[in-house]
Amino acid sequence: MTAKGKELADMMERRKFDILCVQEIKWKGSKARWIGGGFKLFYHGVDGRRNGVGVILKEQYVKSVLEVKSVSGRVMNMKLEIGGVMMNIVSAYAPQVGCAMGEKEDFWSELDEVMNSVPKGQKVVIEADFNGHVGEGNSGDEEVMGRYGVKERNEEGQRIVDFAKRMDMAVVNTYFKKREEHRITYKSGGRCTQVDYILCRRVDLKEIEDCKVVAGESVVKQHRMVVCRMTL
């Protein structure tokens, strides 16, 4: 995030984004700051060199914030009330493939803890760099994902699917038929993968109008933004 605040705010204004989750911001502490253009960043991090998660809000939604729960340097939950609707925005950053198993277990336990703390009637949207591939196709997993993932599922991807089943969630960006270029969320050298996802409660899938990957924004070099339009 260092020196990128104004650039992100300009991009959100241009793209007409209301809420943006960011991961790996590498800032320490639990704070909130205006980043320009009428956008405010709420963030949490425990190490200034790695991890850290945040949520950026358009000014009109800042007064809607009821609570910001900082769970760890990898998970935070923001509770808002928008037009009488209770909405939980969870920003999460899963450990990479090579990280210790204990760190991975801690992450999924924290995410379970957040979900279990949210009352059933409230909406939840998880926006995360899950560092896993759920894969293309949905045979046997039709209740939690669509057919439009990318390539093969790996162990980390299976954890995402298992979590979705456990919590009655849906992997939103796999439901919308897009060209592969608009499904790939990470591109580096010759490597093209899908590791960033948006999840919502299965019962709220009908409120999602579209979900796709936005390419060509210089503010994010390797990861691409996953954008979802939801009508409350």
Residue 18 maps to a domain: no
Q: What is the pLDDT of residues 28-57, one digit of tens each?
A: 999 999 999 999 999 999 998 889 999 999
* Residue 79's CATH number: 3.60.10.10
Q: What is the pLDDT of residues 170-199, one digit of tens each?
A: 999 999 999 999 999 999 888 999 999 999
Q: What is the DSSP string of 148-207?
A: ---S---HHHHHHHHHHHHHTEEEGGGSS---GGGT--EEETTEEE--EEEEEEGGGGGG
Residue 74 maps to a domain: yes
Q: What is the pLDDT of residues 94-150, one digit of tens each?
A: 999 899 999 999 999 999 999 999 999 999 999 999 999 999 999 999 999 999 999
Residue 177 maps to a domain: yes
Domain that holds residue 163: 66-230
Q: How many domains does the chain have?
A: 1
Q: What is the pTM for the complete model shown?
A: 0.96
Residue 7 maps to a domain: no
Residue 206 maps to a domain: yes
Residue 162 maps to a domain: yes
Residue 82 maps to a domain: yes
Residue 146 maps to a domain: yes
